[in-house]
Amino acid sequence: MCESNVYLIDEKGEEKLVFEGVNEVSSYGGGLCLENIFYQRKYILAKVKEISFLERKIILERISEDE
Amino acid sequence: MCESNVYLIDEKGEEKLVFEGVNEVSSYGGGLCLENIFYQRKYILAKVKEISFLERKIILERISEDE
């Protein structure tokens, strides 16, 4: 089964792992809802910057409240 | 190998298939660059609304020029 690890670009421009084994990502309240293979959820005020199925990686970048 | 079909939500709110077999999505010029398993590319002024690895589906929504 396909799933990905989700990373968030921090203030220093580095990728920080925020959630593992994610198989569903959906828009939620101006940000995103991440759901993993254990049906655990995480909400994050960010948008998708990059998706790599080859590397099984989703990279998010933070969005400001007023965006 | 994991890849997805990419759909765009049209003016009527319906999902229209825009690209098949996509394995890389990256931010590009305010929109997205989609790349498929044949290394073909498509550029689209949109953002990611939903990713479903279970359904192998990425849903995009159009963004206006000034967003």
- CA nearest to B66 within chain A: A67
Mutation for testing the A interface, residue in B5, B15, B25, B44 having most A CBs under 10 Å: B25
Q: Are A49 and A59 in contact (CB under 8 A)?
A: yes
pLDDT, tens digit, for every residue of B14-64? 999 999 999 999 999 999 999 999 999 999 999 999 999 999 999 999 997
Q: Measured between CB atoms, does A55 come within 8 Å of chain B?
A: no
DSSP per-residue codes, A5-39: EEEEE-TTS-EEEEEEEEEEEEEETTEEEEEETTS
Q: Alpha-carbon distance B63 to B61, whole Å? A: 7
- Predicted complex ipTM: 0.87
A24 in B contact zone (CB under 8 Å):
yes
Beta strands in chain B (DSSP E): 4-9, 15-28, 31-36, 41-44, 46-52, 57-62
